[in-house]
Copies of this chain bind each other. A is one copy, B any other.
């Protein structure tokens, strides 16, 4: 999964701002390709990103990220294994980036941040589980309504066909759900 905890970790990282590099990218820019090893972590200053996996030629979006979020292929970043998903911009973005090497140095030499990172990962784990439960408990319509309730900014900002795959359905089906009743 990815890191994303608005304003929580980011503020701590400001102490190491000299290790950050500013980067501007247009929309639809690939920051990490599925199968490659993640060597960079991104902080979103402006814009939004998504992660997605290729499933038999079709793109499935697995997560969205916005201003204040930190994004990387966490497993790949941590274990040097190939990433299971791609990271891509959905809008023109301003990013701050840090290398894996610098990141690991900071973590190893700052116990406080290490603890914070572990707590952060634990929270992400918890959220991932909650999302899984939503698939077990709810049908597509219910998941869509849950998304409206819990993450209205996603509905407002992201094109629907990305949201559809994020919900595990086709864009046709999402359009039907929206225009029912």
Q: Which residues of A contact B (CB under 8 A)?
A: 1, 53, 55, 60, 62, 75, 78, 84, 118, 121-122, 124-126, 128-129, 131-133, 135-137, 165-166, 168
Contact = CB atoms under 8 A, between A and B. Distances in A.
Chain A at the B interface: SS class = helix
A129 B1 CA distance: 7
Given A78-B122, A121-B122, A53 B137 contact: yes
Interface centre among A60, A125, A126, A129 (most CB of B within 10 A): A129
Given A121-B121, A129-B128, A136 B75 contact: no
Contact of A133 (B84, B121, B137): B84
B122 A124 contact: no
Contacts of A137: 53, 55, 60
A128 B136 CA distance: 13
A125 B133 contact: no
Contacts of A133: 53, 62, 84
Contacts of A1: 125, 129
6 contacts: A1-B129, A60-B137, A121-B122, A128-B128, A128-B129, A136-B165
A128 B1 CA distance: 9
Contacts of A166: 136
A100 B131 CA distance: 27
A136 B84 contact: no
A20 to B, nearest CB: 25
Nearest to A166: B136
Nearest to A124: B125
